[in-house]
A and B are shown apart, each in its own frame.
Chain A
Amino acid sequence: MKLDREVVLHIAKLARVDLSEAEVAMFSEQLSEILTHFDVLSAVDTEGVEPTAHTLPIRNVFAEDRSRPSLSQDEVLALAPNTEDGYLRVRAVLE
Chain B
Amino acid sequence: MPDLHYLTIHEAADLLRKREVTSRELTQAALDRITAVDGRVQAFLAVTAERALAQADAADARLAAGETGDLLGVPVAIKDVMATKGVPTTCGSKMLEHFVPPYDGTVVRRLFDAGAVMVGKTNMDEFAMGSSTENSAYFPTRNPWALDRVPGGSSGGSAAAVAAGEAIYALGSDTGGSIRQPAALCGVVGMKPTYGRVSRFGLVAFASSLDQIGPFTHDVRDMATVLNAICGHDDADSTSAPVETPDFSAGLGRGVRGLRIGVPKEYMPETLDVGVRARVEAALAALQEQGAEITHGVPLPSTEAALAVYYVIAPSEASANLARYDGVKYGFSYQQGATMWENMEKTRGLGFGAEVKRRIMIGTYALSSGYYDAYYLKAQKVRTVIRREFDAAFEKYDVLVAPVTPSTAFKIGEKTADPFEMYLNDVFTLPVNIAGLPGISVPAGFVDGLPVGLQVIGKPFDEETVLRVAQAYEQTADWRATKPPL
User: Could you say which residues of chain B place their CB within 8 Å of the CB of A19?
Assistant: 349, 357
Cross-chain contact B368 with A11 (CB below 8 angstroms): yes
CA distance A30 to B355 in the complex (A): 11
CA distance A19 to B350 in the complex (A): 9
User: Could you say which residues of chain B place their CB within 8 Å of the CB of A27?
Assistant: 357-358, 361
Q: Does B180 contact A (CB under 8 A)?
A: no
User: Could you say which residues of chain A place their CB within 8 Å of the CB of B340?
Assistant: 90-93
A24 shortest CB reach to chain B, Å: 10
CA distance A46 to B208 in the complex (A): 24
Cross-chain contact B382 with A44 (CB below 8 angstroms): yes
User: Could you say which residues of chain B place their CB within 8 Å of the CB of A61?
Assistant: 238
Q: Does A85 contact B (CB under 8 A)?
A: no
Residues 296-310 of B at the A interface (beta carbon under 8 Å)? 302, 304-305, 307-309
Interface residues of A (CB under 8 A from B): 3, 8, 11-12, 14-20, 23, 26-27, 30-31, 33-35, 37-38, 40-44, 46, 49-56, 58, 61, 63, 71, 75-76, 78-82, 88, 90-93, 95
Cross-chain contact A16 with B380 (CB below 8 angstroms): no
Q: Does B352 contact A (CB under 8 A)?
A: yes
User: Could you say which residues of chain B place their CB within 8 Å of the CB of A71?
Assistant: 102-103
User: Could you say which residues of chain A place their CB within 8 Å of the CB of B420?
Assistant: 33-34, 37
Question: Can you identify 11 A-B contacts, CB atoms within 8 angstroms?
Answer: A15-B364, A16-B345, A18-B346, A19-B357, A27-B358, A41-B305, A41-B308, A44-B381, A46-B385, A52-B383, A76-B102
Cross-chain contact B308 with A54 (CB below 8 angstroms): no
Cross-chain contact A90 with B378 (CB below 8 angstroms): no
Given pairs A56-B195, A81-B333, 6 additional interface contacts (CB within 8 A): A15-B361, A18-B349, A41-B375, A42-B374, A58-B241, A88-B329
- Which of A16, A40, A52, A61 is most buried by chain B, counting CB atoms within 10 A of its CB? A52
CA distance A41 to B384 in the complex (A): 12
B206 shortest CB reach to chain A, Å: 14
User: Could you say which residues of chain B place their CB within 8 Å of the CB of A34?
Assistant: 311, 362, 419-420
A80 shortest CB reach to chain B, Å: 6
A6 shortest CB reach to chain B, Å: 13
* Given the contacts A11-B365, A79-B99, A92 and B339 also touching, CB distance less than 8 Å: yes
Residues 393-451 of B at the A interface (beta carbon under 8 Å)? 419-420, 435-436
Cross-chain contact B378 with A46 (CB below 8 angstroms): yes
* Given the contacts A12-B361, A52-B380, A80-B328, A41 and B309 also touching, CB distance less than 8 Å: yes
User: Could you say which residues of chain A place their CB within 8 Å of the CB of B196?
Assistant: 55-56
The secondary-structure label for the interface of chain A is loop
CA distance A92 to B360 in the complex (A): 26
* Given the contacts A18-B346, A44-B385, A55 and B435 also touching, CB distance less than 8 Å: yes
* Given the contacts A17-B357, A80-B329, A91-B338, A53 and B311 also touching, CB distance less than 8 Å: no
Cross-chain contact B358 with A31 (CB below 8 angstroms): yes
A63 shortest CB reach to chain B, Å: 7
Contact among B308, B345, B365 for A31, CB-based, below 8 A: B365
CA distance A88 to B326 in the complex (A): 12
CA distance A38 to B378 in the complex (A): 10
Cross-chain contact A55 with B102 (CB below 8 angstroms): no
Cross-chain contact A15 with B242 (CB below 8 angstroms): no
User: Could you say which residues of chain A place their CB within 8 Å of the CB of B328?
Assistant: 80-82, 88, 90
Q: Does B116 contact A (CB under 8 A)?
A: no
Q: Which residue of B lies closest to A63 (CB)?
A: B235
CA distance A15 to B344 in the complex (A): 10
CA distance A44 to B379 in the complex (A): 10
Contact among A20, A43, A52 for B384, CB-based, below 8 A: A52
Render B271-294 as a binary contact track against A, CB cut-off 8 A, 1 for contact: 000000000000000000000000
Render B362-390 as a binary contact track against A, CB cut-off 8 A, 1 for contact: 10110010000011011111111101000
Cross-chain contact B341 with A16 (CB below 8 angstroms): yes
User: Could you say which residues of chain A place their CB within 8 Å of the CB of B475?
Assistant: none
Residues 328-344 of B at the A interface (beta carbon under 8 Å)? 328-331, 333, 335, 337-344
